[in-house]
A and B are shown apart, each in its own frame.
Chain A
Amino acid sequence: MKKRLLLKWQWLPVLALIGQVLQAQNNCDITLRGKVVDAHTREPVAFANVAIEGSDIGAMADENGLYSIDNICEGSYIIVCSHVNCDHIEHQITLTEDTQKDFVLEPHGVFIQEVLVKGKAVPLKAAGAGATLDAAQLSSERGLTLSDAIGKLPGVTTLNTGASIAKPVIQGLHSNRVLVLNNGIRQEGQQWGTEHAPEIDPFLADQVTVVKGAGSVRYGADAIGGVILVKPRPLPEKAGIGGELNLQGLSNGRTGIASGTVEGRLSGKLPVSGRLQGTLKRGGNLQTPDYFLDNTGVEEANFSWALGLKQGKWNTELFFSRFYTRLGIFSGAHIGNLTDLQNAIERERPLQDGTFTYELGRPQQRIYHELFKWKGELETGDKGTLQLQLARQFNRRQEFDAHRPYGDLPDNFDEPQIEFEITTHTAELSWEHDPIHNLRGSAGALFMRQANTTDRGALIPNYENYTVGAFWIERWKNYPFPLEVEGGLRYDYQWMDVGLQGRDSINRQLGFSNFSGTIGAIYRFSKLVELRFNAGTAWRAPNVNELFSDGVHHGAASFETGDPNLRPERAFNNSLSIELDDKDKLSATLSLFYNVIDDFIFPEPQAEPVLTIRGAFPAFGYAQADARLMGFDWQAAYEVMPGLQLESQASLLRAWNRSRQEYLSLMPPDQFEHALRYTFGKGEGDNTAPYLRLAMINVLEQTRVPGFSSAHLTGTDYAPPPAGHTRFKLEGGARFRLGRQPFEVNLAIFNLFNASYRQYLNRFRYFADETGRNVSVHLRVPFGNG
């Protein structure tokens, strides 16, 4: 009954979002003039078109880039500036008097799906669905985890192991099916593990873009669920020193974070820019509304540097980042075998209420990740841009069980039970060509070599992995013609040489290869409505853990066995998005998706448990079935009255195992978020006005799970999914100046009313509640040019 009522409430704001655009028109003698320049060279762009959208009024810039439009009526307009060799720019402007407006055009738009939201430029939109978060939107959640920050987007949720380990889930898919690009390089760690979070400093991310559905063609096979692009700030283009200091405190876990950036550019002859960035984080035991969670502290120490040189047609950049974290795993969740797990579930709450401490004990994870990359770019005359990227990554993951290994002290005192080291080298050459008869495109090739060593434990084997791939993407666009079409093709070959696993030699060589393809279109019905369609096919080779896993997964109390004969997965992704934007009061996006994955690889429960000297463990073997994932994501905002905005967001998913005729397990439940946002007055620019935002998040119970049976060994889960819940979040932010020094303060209270709840996609839901109220205060102090 309660649920039904809730459902009705979800839809009310949607109905309220039907609005009208009002334009006042009085004075009709206004002149708009200005200059059009190239974003890189600052040279004037000759013969660009400047027009008022939806009207015949416009003008062409002269050879010096100057334009002038006369006799415009007072009102609010969207001015479009376009040029055959550039991305067009849309700018919203309210004209009450003669106005000067300059436009800066990007000569080569960033291609496919890399949506840039900085400034006012409207570059190529992805034909597929996607969304971007900028630094301001990432603000408060950055203090939690990077995944929590991305999880704000519709269609994106998180898969958690406690509160400090979170992985992004895009429309139900995660881990190896989601590719994370850290500063242009595919992040390679042990991303197959559900408790292995992305090893990226959230404060390094200035902008995060999520590509939903297959992003395989551009970014590499595997990405059948989506792609997450994490980008640091571009290196400064202006001479001088600048930077920023971020200080954040979170009440839960009494977490403190300090993150700083210093960047600059030499003036004079040598056009070198550089940046140094670092983050320190420390948190103690987290707290649910009723008890502390023992051993849930976290320590993180990251730094990065970048050096760039830009001259004429050349552009080169060196980048290094280091990520190191030590995080405690909730001790109440560490169990020996299935009986322990059942005991823990029956207790319903942890045995001990815990206390606060910053001390980290066992179980624990220590993760080290470093990335070193070099990028070189060359503008090949008026033909396009050639880019070469070389990168080396090293990732070490150590997992310490609750019990230190048996053996003589002190040798074994501080030794992990599991340790992996993986080194990855990537080289990518790509060429983006300038428009040729309205066709723009890029082509490229990638080489990757990877070597994994399992130094302790034998869960996965040592292996070497070689991948080569090539892609070609073209897009046809003839602004202002309302249709844009895009198509791309990719081929990848992957070869894997598998060596030792523990003391056994696997000695197997596996090769996989296939094509990925995508076609997409954008159609603008009017300046208000835009339709986007994308169909693609992608494939993913089985991952090493799916092929060769052999051992107990602690915390999950399960024994996982791989199958070396697995076939690659083949996905067919379809997405249709309708976007409504009146550039004033209303914006809304509805994205429908229908994804079919043949030979979907999943851990299937086995009839017989594995008997060991530690007791019985339920056995899971990797199996394949045909799956279907469909649903929609929804996001809308409507300005009800000046300053007050109503926001609505929904993520719905239905995941079905077509072969077994049952639901897929561990899929995110339906989720809704509704918010009221009040902005006080007008700020100096974008997002600078003080605001308050109250959000209500409803998560429904996941009722679509494979037949749950209390006989744990035949069911697929140990406990039924937790009940749905509602939680609230209050956010606010303001910018102010003390003297000449600007400050930015962001406040957020997560779980405002301290609700007790559990999440289906948290692997620790068997043991404890989610964390309680968490007050975050974030202070950002830019200095110099920053």
Chain B
Amino acid sequence: MIFNISMPIRFLSLLVIASALLWTGCQKDDDTPPADEPELITTVVLNFTGPDGNTSSFQFSDTDGLGGNPPVADDITLSANTTYQLDIEFRDESNAANVKDITAEVREEAEEHLLCFAATGVLDIPVTLDTDGNGAPLGLETELTTGQAGNATLAIILKHEPDKGADNPCITGETDVQAEFEVAVQ
């Protein structure tokens, strides 16, 4: 008969059961490394193809991710009075042994992405050639025409979920990448 068990014993057994339940609950090992980091864009590559068919590439990269070391940008050298085809690539180089190309993914989700450009100095803003599924601009493929010789800066901004119908879509959405280059036109 359970009711004949004396109160202290019942109390103690409850205590034991309760503590067993409480203290053996699932516990995570503190030293487990985190899940694989999601892919991120660490590198922007600009491929300039001149009229002669030769391609020169320049890159902006921050392989250790946000924080840590600041990003590093190549200096771009271009010829004056030349029309270049400018193709832009994005890569994940956070793991040097496993470099991933993210350009295709940006193109697949073209409706959600937009490349914006800003230029100062002697450079004009590149003209976007490609479009997304809705016929709105994307910006992975562009054309850049240089004028006279001089110095310039060129910024490439990748926007996520911009409002492509807005007057200025480049001030909408979330900035995924903002890469700035020094350009010398010779």
Contacts and interface: CB of A to CB of B under 8 A. Distances in A.
Interface of A: 269-270, 309, 311-314, 316, 318, 334-337, 339-340, 343, 347, 351-352, 372-374, 376, 378, 388, 390-392, 394, 402-403, 405-407, 412, 415, 417, 419, 421, 423, 425, 451-458, 462-464, 497, 499-500, 502-503, 550-552, 559, 561, 610-617
Interface in B1-60: 3, 7, 11, 14-15, 18-19, 21-23, 25-35, 37-44, 60
A394 B176 CA distance: 33
Interface centre among A334, A376, A417, A453 (most CB of B within 10 A): A453
Contacts of B15: 316, 374, 376, 388
Contact of A394 (B25, B40, B163): B25
Given A316-B15, A403-B176, 9 more contacts: A311-B7, A313-B7, A336-B176, A390-B22, A406-B92, A451-B28, A458-B34, A497-B30, A612-B62
Interface in B148-184: 157, 159-161, 163, 166, 171-179
B26 A500 contact: no
A453 B28 contact: yes
B68 to A, nearest CB: 9
A340 B170 CA distance: 9
Contacts of B26: 394, 423
A455 B34 contact: yes
CB-based closest 7 A-B pairs: A405-B38, A336-B175, A615-B178, A374-B18, A406-B39, A336-B174, A613-B62
Contact of A462 (B31, B100, B105, B171): B31
Contacts of B37: 456, 502-503
7 contacts: A312-B7, A334-B174, A335-B174, A456-B34, A456-B38, A610-B70, A614-B177
Given A335-B174, A613-B71, A351 B163 contact: yes
B11 A376 contact: yes
A424 B14 CA distance: 21
Contacts of B100: 407
Contacts of A415: 38
Contacts of A463: 30
Contacts of A614: 66, 175-178
Contacts of A457: 34
A376 B14 contact: yes
Contacts of A339: 175, 178
A462 B30 contact: yes
Contacts of A403: 160-161, 174, 176
A584 B44 CA distance: 74
A334 B175 CA distance: 10
B76 interface: no
B61 interface: yes
A61 to B, nearest CB: 31
Contact of A502 (B14, B31, B34, B92): B34
B171 A343 contact: yes
A615 B102 CA distance: 19
Given A376-B11, A405-B38, A500-B34, A425 B23 contact: yes
A650 B106 CA distance: 54
B9 to A, nearest CB: 11
Contacts of A340: 173-175
Given A406-B38, A462-B31, A499-B31, A372 B25 contact: yes
B7 A352 contact: no
A403 B41 CA distance: 12
A337 B178 contact: yes
Interface in B98-116: 100, 102, 105
Contacts of B39: 405-407, 412
A85 to B, nearest CB: 24
B135 interface: no
Nearest to A423: B27
A417 B35 CA distance: 10
Given A314-B7, A336-B176, A451-B28, A550 B34 contact: no
Given A351-B166, A390-B22, A415-B38, A423 B28 contact: yes
B30 A451 contact: yes
Nearest to B38: A405
Contact of A613 (B14, B23, B42): B42
A372 B17 CA distance: 13
A464 B92 contact: no
Interface centre among A407, A421, A503, A552 (most CB of B within 10 A): A407
Contacts of A270: 3
A464 B30 CA distance: 7
B11 A316 contact: yes
B22 A372 contact: yes
Contacts of B43: 613
Nearest to A457: B34
A344 to B, nearest CB: 9
Nearest to A363: B174
B98 to A, nearest CB: 12
A288 to B, nearest CB: 19
